[in-house]
Structures are given as C-alpha cells and as structure tokens.
Amino acid sequence: TKCSSDGDFSEGEMVPFGPIALNPSSGVLNYGQGLFEGLKAYRKTDGSILLFRPEENALRMRIGAERMCMPAPTIEQFVDAVKQTVLANKRWVPPTGKGSLYIRPLLMGSGAVLGLAPAPEYTFIIFVSPVGNYFKEGLAPINLIVEDKFHRATPGGTGNVKTIGNYASVLMAQKIAKEKGYSDVLYLDAVHKKYLEEVSSCNIFVVKGNVISTPAVKGTILPGITRKSIIDVALSKGFQVEERLVSVDELLEADEVFCTGTAVVVSPVGSITYQGKRVEYAGTKGVGVVSQQLYTSLTSLQMGQAEDCLGWTVQLN
C-alpha cells in the first residue's frame, strides 16, 4: 500500500513476491526511514490457521512510526492486511509442529527527499515465508557473549522501536561473536556498561529460584511481544516477575537464563561469556526446567493446543 505523508493506507493490492521499484532518493534508502515487524502464523491440527496477538505488532509499528516521523496503518488496517496476506498464502503455512509462516510487515519512506527530512510518501508492504522450527529437535541451549564495546542503543536513540537502522548497527558485533563460535551477543547499557539490555533479536530473562527478572522497558530495549506474553504466563504459573535494572553480575548467580522473541520463541541459554569468563547453565540436558515449562506453555497456546483464556490468538479460517 502507498500513501502520502498525511497517511491513508486504505488501498492495497496482492502482488506476486518479487523486486519492487524504489526511488533512489527515497527516505528509506538515504536516511533509514523504515520500520519492520515480525510475527508468525501457526497451523492447528484441524488445519485452521492462527495468528498470535497481531494487534500488538500493529500497535508497536504505530509507536515506532511516530518516532520515525511516518504515518502508519491503523491497527485494524494492519491486522486486516496480515490476515489477507496469510490467507492468500495459506498453502505455505507448514503442518502443526513443522514450523510456521513468518510474516514481515515493512513501513518505509518511499517518497523522494534530498535534504534530511521525512519523506513525502510512504509504502507499507507485507511479505511472508515459511520457516522451520528454530530448534529442529526440541530445545537446544544457545551460547551468548556479553558485549561491552559495541552498544545496540543509547538513551534518546531508537532502541525501543523496530527501525531498520538498529539492525544495521549490530551486524558487526554479531559477526565477530559468530566467528568466535557464539550464537549471539548480549548487549549492556551504554551509560553504566553494567546492566543487561537484550540480544540482537530477542529479550533476556534471568531465573533465580521462584523469581524471574528481566530488564525493564525504559527506552533502549525493544518491548517484545513474546516478552510481554511470557511475563503473563510466568505470573499465572506462580512465579514472581521483576522488571527492573538487571546487573551483569546477576548472571553469575542465576539458576537459568533464557531469551524470548518471535523467531526463538523461548530459547534457553547454555552459557554466557563475559570478560573472558564463561558461566554455564546446565539444567536437564542443558535446558532449565523453567525455560522448558514456559516454552511448552507458550507454544501450546500459539499452536492452539491449549485453551486460549486470554484471547491472544486470532483464528483465520
């Protein structure tokens, strides 16, 4: 869908996947005026298709659009466009347990600008791709390295919105970590260089006894929808959840650490390396009982195998 800077995204069309024409002087190519979202459609055993909290992605895109000086689709327009795109591609939604259909909405300044300014025209696109389960054979722990030289976000920056530039800035840190054999990078805050923020594309939780702690959403981390959902699931299971400053030193004392995100769902952390020191979290076969319990609870909701008391899923057909 295309619209002018006053923002009307009511007209859209379904076109085959392929390259799009973009003005060389568009706002997105020159000044990074772009946002994206990520969500998944799962197939239930009866063949029908479920979305998980799509209105949360719509809302996050609207909040991000304000920060990036862009108009955005309404929540209704966003969710409707996601539904239509998934239904038009329903043959690509894998069978239950074999993965999901990843949905990627994009909002960008497609109009021409030369001097630094918001673009005069915007384009909203959704494309989809089937993806396998992140972990092929059950949960497998990931190994993280704490980064204290590169930062993902700074106070007053754009770390709390899903703008494309946030991801460009972490490519190098991620590349270095992968070359050293780590799965991903865990970032610290840029001011004190001591509090946990998040991983390149997921949020982080630290478990100690019955208490599950996670960095509070205070402007520099992305407010993950999986994060928000896992907090509610954990509370309903009787855990105490604390959203606060979590010091890197707490990693030494933790029973378990796990990450949450649309791609990784709930991913146990097997080890964390910080300043050359490696802390290991063993658990059963490297997967902590709390991580396993929360993973099972969330995925059974997302795949329609547990009763959706909270109305988190949207059935499409």
Binding positions for ligand PMP, 98-157, rule CB under 6 A: none
Cα–Cα nearest to 61, from 223, 219, 198: 223
Cα–Cα nearest to 265, from 289, 239, 292: 292
User: Do residues 40 and 302 touch, judged by C-beta distance below 8 A?
Assistant: yes
262 binds ligand PMP (CB under 6 A): yes
Q: Which is nearer to ligand PMP, 66 or 253 (CB)?
A: 66
Cα–Cα nearest to 253, from 274, 273, 275, 281: 281
Region from 124-132, 223-231, 237-245, 294-302 binding ligand PMP, contact rule CB under 6 A: 223-231
302 binds ligand PMP (CB under 6 A): no
314 binds ligand PMP (CB under 6 A): no
Work out which of 142, 225, 248, 272 binds ligand PMP, going by CB under 6 A. Answer: 225
Q: How far is the CB of 266 from ligand PMP (least distance, A)?
A: 10
Work out which of 99, 261, 283, 304 binds ligand PMP, going by CB under 6 A. Answer: 261
Work out which of 189, 197, 198, 256 binds ligand PMP, going by CB under 6 A. Answer: 198
227 binds ligand PMP (CB under 6 A): yes
202 binds ligand PMP (CB under 6 A): yes
62 binds ligand PMP (CB under 6 A): no
Output the residue with the shortest Cβ distance to ligand PMP: 224
Give start and end residues of each alpha helix (H) in the chain.
27-31, 54-67, 75-88, 164-168, 171-179, 225-236, 250-253, 289-302
SS3 for 187? strand
Active-site residue, 162 included:
yes
List own/partner pairs for 284-288 with CB under 8 A and 24 or more apart: 286/140, 286/141, 287/138, 287/139, 287/140, 287/141, 288/207, 288/255, 288/256, 288/258
Binding positions for ligand PMP, 24-43, rule CB under 6 A: 38
203 binds ligand PMP (CB under 6 A): yes
Q: How far is the CB of 79 from ligand PMP (least distance, A)?
A: 15
Work out which of 100, 201, 220, 271 binds ligand PMP, going by CB under 6 A. Answer: 201
Write the CB contacts of 235 (distance below 8 Å, at least 6 apart in sequence). 241
Catalytic residue among 83, 162, 178, 218: 162
Residue 193: count of CB within 10 angstroms of its CB: 12
Structure-block tokens of residue 192 = 């004190």
222 binds ligand PMP (CB under 6 A): yes
Work out which of 89, 123, 220, 226 binds ligand PMP, going by CB under 6 A. Answer: 226
Q: Which is nearer to ligand PMP, 226 or 271 (CB)?
A: 226
Residue 14: count of CB within 10 angstroms of its CB: 11
Cα first-last separation, the chain:
24
Structure-block tokens of residue 37 = 């979202």
Q: Which is nearer to ligand PMP, 3 or 246 (CB)?
A: 246
Residue 79: count of CB within 10 angstroms of its CB: 17
Q: Please identify every residue annotated as catalytic.
A: 162
Residues that bind ligand PMP (CB under 6 A): 38, 198, 201-203, 222, 224-227, 260-262
